[in-house]
Amino acid sequence: MRRIVFVLLLMAGFVNMSAEEYTLTSPDGKLKIGIQTDEVLTWEIEYDGTTVILPSGIWMETDKGDFGLNMEVEKTKEAQVSESFDTPFYKKASVKDEYKELILKCDGYRVVFRAYNDGAAYRFESDMKELTVTNENAFFNFEGDYKAFIPYINDNRGGERWCYSFESYYDEQPLSKMYKDSLAITPLAVCLPNGKKAVVMDAGVENYPGMFLLKGEDYALKAAFAPYPLETAIGGHARLNLVPTLRADYIAKAEKDQVFPWRAVVVTNNDGDLLNCDMAQRLAPKCRIKDTSWIKPGKVAWDWWNNTNLTGVDFEAGINTETYKYFIDFAKRNGLEYIIIDEGWSSPESLMILSKKIDLLALVQYAKERGIGIILWSSWRNMIGKTAQDNINNVSLNNAKLEFEQPADSGKVYTLDEVMAHYQQMGIKGFKVDFFDRDDQEVIRSAYEVAECAAKHHLLLDLHGLKPFGIQRAYPNIVNFEGVKGLENSKWEPRKGDGPLHDQPRYDVTAPFLRMLPGPMDYTPGAMSNATRDQFFGNNNHPMSQGTRVHQMAMYTIFEAPLQMLADSPTRYEKEQECTDFISKIPTTFDETVVLDAKIGEYILLARRKGATWYLAAMTNWVPRDLTVDLSLLPSVGGDHKSSSAVIFADGINAHRDATDYKKSVVTVTPGQKLDIHLAPGGGWTAIVDF
């Protein structure tokens, strides 16, 4: 990738400095980090006159001594850097990386601090050959009892504390009311005075566990990390997990000269800034794939959410060859790049034992002739060869028993490389790897191994049971992650009182600010069965969505997803061809993003550009609202355009009564025009403007 680096100020080498207090400011001067190296290393952050965090302790406990306690700084190094790097699989074509940096060099380790215009970060770096990290302490002490958006973990796999899918709704409560000892995943947002937000997150995680957060004293958050797993057993959901049964008294075994993950606090004046923040990209490892030309983002026809329901066909729909040929034909007719064959195509214990009802070789050839790629589902434990031979032959799925072909070597356990080489040769384009459901050191290390192996064999990856942690920049063949309360939850959502238990539209306009901050999310949108709050109910075999039809359509622009699903049935989409035609035209990566108006938990209005075309979208929670789309805020992309054509989908006048109601219009707009739009409860609005 092309990198343009301008080093504005770089001190030549290390210089001696004995001071115990240091100050680091952002390039624009608004953000200030105060660092003190007394008995305990602390940092504090101030932004534009507002205290973000008070002095907060940070140190690591290792078998070679404690990093950050009783520090003796031998040397310091400062730099001010401005650089940019290309991001072809992202919400913008390139990212600017501008910061000031301070490195504190001690005996055996360093601490690196960075001040950005929109946040602060630090990490430890080891100079040792190896060491064991028994614990890492990171505190975030806030000044007041501020409201926070907290994603607690729940539904632990096999009852194990650290085994979880990273799918959480947000509890909105003061810091003092946080549930004691309940783990929360990151990013976690804290509402500061004067409309500012502070978002705590980790980034650039490699060979180390991810960071959870716990309630600290008073108004503090403190980090927590999964201990290293010493023993695991097959279990969890439908025996698809590797659940730790014994964990060590340490969190990581570090390698020579290990660089540890970043601890970051993103700070913004406006909520909308979070929708266009690049902190995770900046702090991630650089791309490790020399040739990325084979990586093809796109949209996917998906079978699982709609339960392979097809109507008007002359065969019985289900997990069989005829059904997937129909999916392939649908993808071809509608300009989609891929289909996914989800759970059931292979034995739950071996990716080399295939269902008797699916001729996978024939499907690959059928898809190839039509220019469609096939992506296959797998559990993580299955992908890495952790099998249970007593369960290798049969599986029941959706009340149907599936039988599998038995090859001569059916008892063999294949390596990761053997599996990927086999399916690359067959013509498969990638894997959706599911049920990681952990981010301890073992899983993080394995994710990098899976990504590297997949890249070697030119295979895409969609990782489920994980949230992004920086690996997607190092290996951009990872084109999506789950770790989100997506559309699948509507299949089993219970009712409480006069509506659904969970407020999905509010989540839909909260997750993009937080869950989407570290990277893309496989929400799997596109429901064509839509319900108002009072009409919604969960139905596994014939699911519906909360909110309007256009709320779902707007997700294709708002939700970042280089690999984006169409979750509903092909025959449902064909009955709604007007909506399907619009969805199929929306790209999955963009050249530019502009946030027009947004408030976390309330609404989003943004625009993304691909080439000379702008894609605009808005969503709201259950509160109806009126917004203004100011086209003058969209940067010019060349040419003298006095007017342009816009295709607009808006909530219909009766969408508050029937959530499927919408109105399509084709209008002429001018670059400086302002459009007044109305969003129904749980509503949306979306447009394509060709400048």
DSSP-assigned letters across all residues of 98-148? EEEEEEEEETTEEEEEEEETTEEEEEEEE-SS-EEEEEEEEEEE-SS--EE
* Alpha helices, DSSP H, located in 277-395: 279-282, 321-333, 360-369, 380-383
Distance separating alpha carbons of residues 549 and 296, to the nearest angstrom: 28
DSSP-assigned letters across all residues of 220-256? EEEEE-PPPEEEEEEESGGG-EEEEEEE-SSSEEE-T
Structure tokens, 409: 């070597």
Size of the chain in residues: 691
What sign has the CA pseudo-torsion 124, 181, 150, 53?
negative
The helix or strand, by DSSP H or E, that contains position 266, with its residue range, turns out to be strand 262-268
Distance separating alpha carbons of residues 480 and 434, to the nearest angstrom: 12
Write the burial class of residue 640 (CB in 10 Å: 0-12 exposed, 13-18 middle, 19+ buried).
exposed
Closest by CA position to 545, among listed 490, 624, 485: 490
Distance separating alpha carbons of residues 501 and 524, to the nearest angstrom: 20
Catalytic residue among 46, 160, 488, 493: 488
- What letter represents residue 486's amino acid? G
Distance separating alpha carbons of residues 116 and 441, to the nearest angstrom: 28
Distance separating alpha carbons of residues 631 and 685, to the nearest angstrom: 15
Distance separating alpha carbons of residues 280 and 509, to the nearest angstrom: 20
Structure tokens, 123: 């990490």
Distance separating alpha carbons of residues 116 and 199, to the nearest angstrom: 14
Structure tokens, 674: 């302002």
Write the burial class of residue 260 (CB in 10 Å: 0-12 exposed, 13-18 middle, 19+ buried).
buried
Distance separating alpha carbons of residues 354 and 339, to the nearest angstrom: 18
Distance separating alpha carbons of residues 101 and 565, to the nearest angstrom: 40
Distance separating alpha carbons of residues 223 and 145, to the nearest angstrom: 19
Distance separating alpha carbons of residues 19 and 27, to the nearest angstrom: 23
* Alpha helices, DSSP H, located in 484-601: 504-508, 549-558, 570-575, 577-584
Distance separating alpha carbons of residues 447 and 475, to the nearest angstrom: 10
- Residues with Cβ within 8 Å of 547's Cβ and at least 6 positions away in sequence, in order, are 504, 505, 508, 530, 531, 619, 622, 659, 681, 682, 683, 684
Are 526 and 544 within 8 A, CB to CB?
A: no
Catalytic residue among 98, 434, 440, 493: 434
Closest by CA position to 76, among listed 100, 47, 46: 100
Question: Is 217 one of the annotated active-site residues of the chain?
Answer: no
Question: Is 592 one of the annotated active-site residues of the chain?
Answer: no
The helix or strand, by DSSP H or E, that contains position 377, with its residue range, turns out to be strand 373-379
Distance from the first to the final alpha carbon of the chain: 29
Q: Are β-strands 94-106 and 75-86 bridged in parallel, bridged antiparallel, or unpaired? A: antiparallel
Are 101 and 114 within 8 A, CB to CB?
A: yes
Distance separating alpha carbons of residues 306 and 300, to the nearest angstrom: 13
Distance separating alpha carbons of residues 31 and 82, to the nearest angstrom: 16
Q: How many helices (H) and strands (E) does the chain have?
A: 11, 44
Residues recognised as catalytic: 434, 488
